[in-house]
Amino acid sequence: MKWLFLSSGLNSGKFNMKTDSYLAMNCETDEAVFRLYQWQPYCISLGANQDESIIDYAETKKDNIDVVKRPTGGKAILHAEEITYSVIYPAIQDTSARELYTNINFALKKGLEKYNNKLSEIELENSQADFSKLYKETSGSICFASSAKSELKYDGKKLVGSAQRKFKDSILQHGSILCGNFHTNIINYLKIPEEEKGIIQTELNEKTIDLNMILKEKIDFESLSEFLALGFQEYFNIDSLQYV
- In the chain, the amino acid numbered 207 is K
Mean pLDDT of 235-240: 92
How many domains are there within the chain? Answer: 1
pLDDT digits over 81-108, tens only? 999 999 999 998 788 999 999 999 999 9
The CATH code of the domain that includes 124 is 3.30.930.10
DSSP 101-169: HHHHHHHHHHHHHHH-GGGGG-EE--S---HHHHTTSGGGGBGGGS--TT-EEETTEE-EEEEEEE-SS
What per-residue string of b and e applies to 105-122 under the rule 16 or more CB within 10 Å gives b? Answer: bbbbbbbbbbbbeebeeb
pLDDT digits over 27-72, tens only? 999 999 999 999 999 999 999 999 999 999 999 999 999 999 999 9
Q: What is the pLDDT of residue 132?
A: 57
- Structural domain of 97: 2-243
Q: What is the pLDDT of residue 94?
A: 83
